[in-house]
Amino acid sequence: MIVADKQRLIVEEINKWKEKHHAIILAHNYQMPEIQDIADVLGDSLALARAALTTEADVIVFCGVHFMAETAAILNPGKTVLLPDLEAGCSLADSITVEQLRKWKSEYPDAVVVSYVNTSAEVKAESDYCCTSSNAVEVVNSIPRDKEILFLPDMFLGQFVKRETGRDNIHIWLGECHVHAGIRPDQVEDVIRHHPKADLLVHPECGCSTSSLYLKAEGVLPEDKTHILSTGQMLKHSKVAQADEFIVATEVGIIHQMERQNPGKRFLAANPEAVCPFMKMITLEKVLTALKEKKHVITVPEQVAGKAKQAIDRMVTIG
């Protein structure tokens, strides 16, 4: 059987089981094209968290990574949240443990803790606020300016937030996402040289985000063509922008959606090797098994969930 026929049959089965269990499929913008194509809601971390909170479905199949499914389970404990592959983790979330955070907090007892959503539930439970890349600046701006802040775990997003808010009382954890850190400034500059008319879209987790802003400030990159955005904001921008060409500095999975939504526009990966192995673990076969066997159910111990929820509630409310 040819691949397209096989996929069509699996999708039919998925739809059958989805109806039977009254389920919804939430998928992140970095998922494989065939997963993006079956999603009921496709979005960035914030949009998916909000969709998990408001859905009327009984079962949420989370096509993303573990911390996203955990966040959904905390936000909406009445639902069954399924992650099709338990190995779908996140190198950034792994860059800080709850023990490390407790020790860091003890060094700054009066500081407010702002955690990126890419963290474990235990780390969120030790945090005052959560944020995503689309509202990190707004979340930090909502905290009184005289308050010291511990920002974790992404150092590039932390530096971006520090610059945008103009605060010098932000301490930043030195964690990174191995996929975004691997998108280097020299690679981006090289693509820009060959495509000078393109808009440059950079995710704030990228190693090149600092240099892109520097080059913008120096006038090397045109002011109106350089944008630091979450994946959801990138999709919005590529729809409304005048440009025909875009250089995309984030995980390459998003390009499928950009092309789908914008026939006629051209999208170039800043680094075609920026592929998140965790996001790509979710396959159609695994989604079908997850639905049929109702696995893997993601739960968070009540005590941890209760504390983490306060920080997550602030995240979904701000911005």
36 near ligand 13P, judged by CB under 6 A: no
135 near ligand 13P, judged by CB under 6 A: no
Residue 156 touches which member of ligand 13P, ligand SF4, none, C-beta under 5-8 Å by kind? none
- Min dist. Cβ of residue 275 to ligand 13P (A): 12
Residue 155 touches which member of ligand 13P, ligand SF4, none, C-beta under 5-8 Å by kind? none
Check: CB of residue 57 under 8 Å from CB of residue 23: yes
Kindly tell me which of 174 and 220 has the beta carbon lying closer to ligand SF4: 174
Q: How is the beta sheet containing 199-202 ordered, strand by strand?
A: 226-228, 199-202, 245-249, 266-269
Interacting residues with ligand SF4 between 74 and 93 (CB under 6 A):
90-92
CA pair distance 117, 125, nearest whole angstrom: 12
The phi and psi torsions of 175 (rounded to 5 degrees) equal -95, 165
> Per CB under 6 A, which region of 40-48, 167-175, 185-193, 235-243 contacts ligand 13P?
40-48
- Min dist. Cβ of residue 56 to ligand SF4 (A): 27
209 near ligand 13P, judged by CB under 6 A: no
Residue from 66, 187, 251, 291 that binds ligand SF4 (CB under 6 A)? Answer: 251
Binding mask 160-179 for ligand SF4 (x = CB under 6 A): -----------------x-x
The phi and psi torsions of 262 (rounded to 5 degrees) equal -135, 65
- Min dist. Cβ of residue 30 to ligand SF4 (A): 6
CA pair distance 223, 212, nearest whole angstrom: 11
- Min dist. Cβ of residue 145 to ligand 13P (A): 26
Q: How many CB atoms lie within 10 A of CB 245?
A: 14
Residue from 44, 85, 126, 176 that binds ligand 13P (CB under 6 A)? Answer: 44
Residue 132 touches which member of ligand SF4, ligand 13P, none, C-beta under 5-8 Å by kind? ligand 13P
Kindly tell me which of 274 and 304 has the beta carbon lying closer to ligand SF4: 274
Q: Name the site residues for ligand SF4 (rule: CB under 6 A).
A: 65, 90-92, 118, 177, 179-180, 251, 276, 278-279
Q: Name the site residues for ligand 13P (rule: CB under 6 A).
A: 29, 44-46, 118, 132-134, 177, 203, 205, 230-231
